[in-house]
Amino acid sequence: MWTMRNLLFWDSLGYGNAMRLVLLATVRLACGLLPVTMLAAPSVSYVQGNFATPQTPQTTVNVKFTAAQVAGDINVVAVGWKDSKATVSAVTDSSHNTYARAVGPTVQKEIASQSIYYAKNITSAAAGVNIVTVTFSTAAASPDIRILEYSGADPSNPVDVTAAKSGNSAQNVLAIVNRLR
C-alpha cells in the first residue's frame, strides 16, 4: 500500500528573478517514507522580471517592465520593506491592470514586512511602457520591489492557494507559498 502527497512551491534560490516550479512528492511505502524530488514540467513559464531596491525610505516606488508584455499573462509583484509600520496602500501600473493581494502582509514586528500581489490576464504593452507603482501608507524603510511576468497561468483564477508564516526562532520557519495554475 502506498499514498502520495504532492506539494508545488516556488524556489527562487540561485535563480535571480527567474523562479522555477518544483514538485515534491512523498511516497509512503509499506517499508517507510521515501521522499522524491523532481522538476515538474509546468505550463506556467517565467517571461521577465525587474526590481528596485532604494536604500532610503520611500512612499512610492516605480519599477518598469523592460520587454514587451503579452496580453493574458500574469504580473506578480513581491513587496518587502524593513519595518512593520508602513503598509502597502496601492499597487498599480501604467497599463491599467488590476492588482489583488495574494498573500500578506506578513510582518516580523519591528523588523520587516512582505506582501505579494498579482494582476491576472494582463493587457499587452510595448517594451518599456508598463511601469508598476507601489504606494506605501507612510515612507517604508528600504523597500524591495520585485516584478515578474509569467505566461501560461489560468487567466481567470491563477492563484490556487496561499500561505504565509513568520517567526523569530533559531529554527527555520516553513510555509507553503503561492501556487499558480
Residues 89-121: tens digit of each pLDDT:
999 999 999 999 999 898 888 889 999 999 999
Using alpha carbons, select from 150, 145, 115, 148 the residue that is nearest to residue 133: 145
**Region class of 66: left (phi > 0), else alpha (psi between -120 and 50), else beta:** alpha
Higher-pLDDT residue of 178, 108: 108
* pLDDT at residue 109, rounded to an integer: 84
Do 171 and 152 contact (CB within 8 A), yes or no? no
* pLDDT at residue 166, rounded to an integer: 65
Do 8 and 22 contact (CB within 8 A), yes or no? yes
**86 pLDDT tier (thresholds 50, 70, 90):** very high
Cβ-based neighbour number of residue 140 at 10 Å: 27
**How much is the pTM?**
0.71
Highest mean pLDDT among 3-17, 58-72, 149-163: 58-72
* pLDDT at residue 58, rounded to an integer: 98
Residue type for position 33: L
- Show me where the domains of the chain are located: 3-39, 46-167+174-180
Does the structure show a pLDDT above 60 at 1? no
If you average pLDDT over residues 134-142, what whole number do you get? 98
Cα(32)–Cα(138) distance, integer angstroms = 53
Residue 33's DSSP bridge partners are 28
* pLDDT at residue 160, rounded to an integer: 79
Higher-pLDDT residue of 164, 60: 60
Mean pLDDT of the chain: 79
- At 159-173, the pLDDT tens digits run 877 777 666 665 555
By percentage, how much of the chain surpasses pLDDT 90? Answer: 56
**128 pLDDT tier (thresholds 50, 70, 90):** very high
What's the CATH code, domain 46-167+174-180?
2.60.120
